Amino acid sequence: MQVTVYHNPRCSKSRATLKLLAERGLEPTIVDYLRTPPNSATLEKLAEALDRPARDLVRTGQAEWARTGLDIDAADDAELFDAIAAEPILLQRPIVVVDDGALTRARIGRPPEDVEAILP
């Protein structure tokens, strides 16, 4: 089983989620997505694993969102994934992905306890 966390070290929710995982004995692969931004294809897979629409991955309160000129309700998934790939600060955080080989599931850790639903 592989556990991956899309992590922003400056985010308290992200740090709390890592702590929660450590308390459960899990050692996730940590992706600092601001330094290593996911591409559009990876973001599409994250949305599928989350079972949520692309718009749920976007932090629309960020100044970078306003600069995209996109309308969250009118933009299609590809536009949203491209916007996040170009400005990774727009990605909701943290995202925990659990892949057991047969099934990939993910949750956004807001609050951090939400990820418990997909943990072994």
Among 11, 30, 72, 89, the active-site one is 11
11 is catalytic: yes
DSSP string over the chain: -EEEEEE-TT-HHHHHHHHHHHHTT---EEEETTTS---HHHHHHHHHHHTS-GGGGB-TTSHHHHHHT--TTT--HHHHHHHHHHSGGGB-S-EEEEE-SS-EEEEE-SSGGGGGGG--
Which residues have a catalytic role annotated? 11
